[in-house]
A = this chain, B = another copy of it.
Amino acid sequence: MPEPNHPVPVHVVLEPTGRYAAVTPGSSILDAIRQAGVEIVAVCGGRGTCQTCIVQVLEGNPSPLSPEEKALFSEQHVVQVYRLACRSAIIIRTRVFIPSESLSAHLRLQVEGRGEDVQPDSPIKAVDVDIPPPNLQDLRSDETKLKETLEASGLRNTRISLPVLAEASLALRRLSWSVRAVIDRIGPEPRLVTVLPRETRVLGLAFDVGTTKLAGYLVDLVSGDIIARSGAVNPQVVFGDDVISRISYANEGEEQRRTLQFRLAATLNELVETLCREAAVERAQIADAVVVGNTAMHHLFAGLPVRPLGEAPYVPVVTDSIDAPAVDMGLHLAPGVNVHLPPNVAGYVGADHVAMLIASDAVAKGHTAIALDIGTNTEISLITERGIWSCSCASGPAFEGAHIENGMRAVRGAIERVGYRDGEFHVKTIGDCPPVGLCGSGILDAVSALRQAGLLDARGRFTGNDPRIHSANGRAEFVLVPESEAGHGKDVIVTRADVHEIQLAKAAIRSGIEILLAEADLGYDELDLVIVAGAFGTYLSLESAKRIGMFPPLPTDRFQQIGNAAGLGAVQLLLSETKRAAARRLARSIHYVELTTHAGFHDTYVESLLL
């Protein structure tokens, strides 16, 4: 009989994939799903508050229904054993079905973007050399000969780390002492990165590590050409959809933090594989890498604690740029490859925002501009001739479809556009199929259209006698698409609460813009340019955003939607030492404005809530 202290693990089989996990009785279904490596949406990080991790239990009786589940599920749902994965403890062998809407696999990925061209100026140099093989008259060590040969090519005191030397020693013999030495010129002394066959093309890697999505670029370091690009879901989404849930999971313990780091590194390694396969090149040709992300993603990738980011006053562990061995971050590249991490500005203004500013080129061109990257957290910079002011505001997950009654990610069937003309609402879905919910740009449009139609007042309350406005359980809601036209046979609705979420989000962004303008003593009409970056920023309707007051009412031609500028900024930083120096200067020069303690923030925010 098993010892009571060592309970026998029970099996959990996950459909439709057939994967399984063996877990300790009492573990939650969410634990089992994570353990099996299945990526499930869990916006709140498993705290029972977001209601996104819905599963159906096919066999095995889990723990009784939690209060959260009783409130959430209909009687029919209960009969069909729908459960929140995070609230259900496993008792016996269990078979679970994960509906596709609970899987976070098929997000719209974005690796495209516009960016100014950059003159390649990589710190990586290749030198083709012949090294004399050893003989009885020349007993110099491999290292001595390598260094002396490189010195003859003008590279004095080249540093060669032990792992690089170990590989170089083998490569020299394999390549008959005639090789391409790849050198990193960053730092006071040159550094040997790797030894390749002569005339091999030398490549670099740029990654944009978003909270939700990863974008990877493989780049020729000499021509500057992007030779492959690919995207993936950030595998950390299983542990919570937003930065805060991610930080709170990491803070549960060292093991949890390491798990987030390893999962991310593993997916990035797979991306490297994909990129190399696509471009028909060898991984060994990669000699440099740049990774950008928000401060939390930056810290998790770099193996730094994120506790300080989760506690007031939210200071980062590091702001300066970092050059460190790729192997320390779990990337499987040649042992001499370093990763360059551009500087962070603050706990919630990270290296990705710096990269975006670099890519947008607004600074270099002397524009007076607002540049913003909208997400759960929105980073905003005001660029002027007199300096740059930056802030971060908590715009919440509404624009990612979360906390919205019929909200969903930007996947097939999501309404991405809502228009209003002559009393009629028109919707457009991703994939042009029957609608099943609203993604971020859809809900933004919907609120704007409702306001345009006169069905919402400035405070966000439904108004008028439109038959499409219902009152259900004392909650007002607007039927945007009736069940007859919907893809899942249910009404697609917009609730008062949804409108409120959008008000909170847009107020946060608008008041961020206003506070920065006030700090610089500027009016919005003095702006030449409003640069809107990021996936949501690319797809949103500028007219809607202006109509509800998220953006200032400037002519549309002053707006620029630039796509994944952070990723293209990473490519530029990969290619150019000049750009890296510019990014360091830029980050150091930024006036960071902490909104939460800013005297004017509260009033501006309350005012900005109005539609």
Contacts and interface: CB of A to CB of B under 8 A. Distances in A.
Interface of A: 134-136, 139-144, 161-163, 165-166, 169-170, 173, 188, 302-305, 307-308, 312-320, 322, 324, 328-329, 344, 346-347, 592, 594, 597
A594 B139 contact: yes
20 contacts: A136-B594, A140-B315, A141-B316, A141-B318, A141-B319, A141-B320, A141-B344, A142-B315, A143-B319, A161-B328, A162-B303, A165-B304, A165-B318, A166-B302, A166-B304, A166-B305, A166-B317, A169-B304, A169-B307, A173-B308
A141 B302 contact: no
A141 B315 contact: yes
A328 B162 contact: yes
Given A163-B303, A173-B307, A188-B188, 19 more contacts: A134-B315, A139-B313, A139-B594, A141-B315, A141-B318, A141-B319, A142-B308, A142-B317, A142-B318, A143-B318, A162-B303, A162-B322, A165-B318, A166-B304, A166-B305, A169-B304, A169-B305, A169-B317, A170-B307
Residue among A134, A302, A322, A344 having the largest count of chain B Cβ atoms under 10 Å: A134
Contacts of A161: 324, 328
A347 B144 CA distance: 13
B166 A303 contact: yes
Contacts of A173: 307-308
A163 B328 contact: yes
Contacts of A346: 139
A324 B134 contact: no
B169 A308 contact: yes
A206 to B, nearest CB: 19
A320 B144 contact: yes
A338 to B, nearest CB: 11
Nearest to A144: B319
A303 B304 CA distance: 27
B302 A162 contact: yes
A472 to B, nearest CB: 44
B597 A305 contact: no
A187 to B, nearest CB: 10
Contacts of A162: 302-304, 322, 324, 328-329
A136 to B, nearest CB: 5
B597 A136 contact: yes
A347 B141 CA distance: 9
Nearest to A145: B315
A140 B302 CA distance: 19
A324 B135 CA distance: 29
Contacts of A140: 315, 319
A575 to B, nearest CB: 24
A100 B572 CA distance: 66
Nearest to A597: B136
A308 B165 CA distance: 13
A438 B314 CA distance: 71
A135 B313 contact: yes
A317 B134 contact: no
Closest 9 CB pairs of A and B: A143-B318, A141-B319, A134-B315, A141-B316, A169-B317, A142-B317, A162-B324, A136-B313, A166-B304
A592 B594 CA distance: 66
A209 to B, nearest CB: 16
A163 B314 CA distance: 21
Residue among A163, A317, A592, A594 having the largest count of chain B Cβ atoms under 10 Å: A317
A116 to B, nearest CB: 30
A186 to B, nearest CB: 13
A143 B166 CA distance: 32
Contact of A165 (B141, B144, B313, B317): B317
A307 B136 CA distance: 16
A474 B316 CA distance: 83
Contacts of A305: 166, 169-170
A139 B592 contact: yes
A312 B308 CA distance: 57
Contacts of A143: 317-320
A171 to B, nearest CB: 10
Contacts of A594: 136, 139
Residue among A135, A314, A318, A347 having the largest count of chain B Cβ atoms under 10 Å: A318
A411 to B, nearest CB: 36
Residue among A142, A162, A166, A320 having the largest count of chain B Cβ atoms under 10 Å: A162
Contacts of A344: 141
A144 B165 CA distance: 33
